[in-house]
Chains A and B, each alone.
Chain A
Amino acid sequence: ETGVTQTPRHLVMGMTNKKSLKCEQHLGHNAMYWYKQSAKKPLELMFVYNFKEQTENNSVPSRFSPECPNSSHLFLHLHTLQPEDSALYLCASSQNGVTYNEQFFGPGTRLTVL
């Protein structure tokens, strides 16, 4: 138990659906992150929020839309996804965006797009 929870743990959706992934951290951190982990590929950073402000968007397609209403919650809104978007989506948090802060990861949401 890392203090970072993600829901749902598994999600199957069609290409025309709209769904949202939720991440919550109970650690009092100020930075939150979304990563994508596809099969046989390294983890890819998607978005970074620091004190609720988006500080990094790693050229992510607009069909992925993040939202950070407060420092404890992070959402990833999904719409019109493609089958190649099927992956494990991981959320992480850290005290802030400073270099030596360790990141705490959630268990991930396994997404399958049909």
Chain B
Amino acid sequence: DAKTTQPNSMESNEEEPVHLPCNHSTISGTDYIHWYRQLPSQGPEYVIHGLTSNVNNRMASLAIAEDRKSSTLILHRATLRDAAVYYCILRTPGNTPLVFGKGTRLSVIA
């Protein structure tokens, strides 16, 4: 799987939008971009994934650059419950499992 680069940590105020960046300059044309998050004392949970087009779901939005070398996870209104480690993962088609990096630790300030 291609590697991703994320900031170690970010901070946000409650009720404000959060943009979590991910660089993946060596992405191949068929790699999917997945985002997971891990809340304290819990296992990771799926957030969103995409291939080329921007994606929206009830949890977040995923903005993918036109050249696909970077992407941004957008939380539209951060809450205290969004404080977690966010992982950006590339996944090659086929029977390939997830490979987690260090992720970005998001702190949300009330």
- A interface vs B, CB < 8 Å? 2, 4, 33, 35, 42-45, 48, 50, 55-56, 90, 92, 97-100, 102-108
With beta carbons under 8 angstroms apart, the residue of A42, A56, A98 that contacts B102 is A42
With beta carbons under 8 angstroms apart, the residue of A2, A43, A50, A55 that contacts B100 is A43
The 3 closest A-B pairs by CB, nearest first: A105-B43, A97-B95, A102-B46
Closest to B49 in A: A100
Known: A98-B95, A100-B91. 12 other contacts (CB 8 A): A43-B100, A48-B97, A90-B43, A97-B96, A99-B32, A99-B94, A102-B34, A102-B46, A103-B46, A104-B46, A105-B42, A107-B43
Determine the chain B residues whose CB is within 8 A of the CB of A48 once the complex forms. 97
Determine the chain B residues whose CB is within 8 A of the CB of A100 once the complex forms. 32, 49, 91
Q: How far is the CA of A45 from the CA of B91 in the complex (A)?
A: 14
Q: Given A42-B101, A99-B32, A100-B32, does the pair A50, B95 have CB atoms closer than 8 Å?
A: yes
A49 to chain B, nearest CB (A): 11
**Chain B 43-61 interface mask (CB, 8 Å, partner A; 1/0):** 1111001000000000000
- B interface vs A, CB < 8 Å? 32, 34, 36, 41-46, 49, 91-103
A99 and B91 form a contact (CB under 8 A): yes
B100 and A105 form a contact (CB under 8 A): no
A52 to chain B, nearest CB (A): 14
Determine the chain A residues whose CB is within 8 A of the CB of B42 once the complex forms. 105, 107-108
Determine the chain B residues whose CB is within 8 A of the CB of A44 once the complex forms. 100
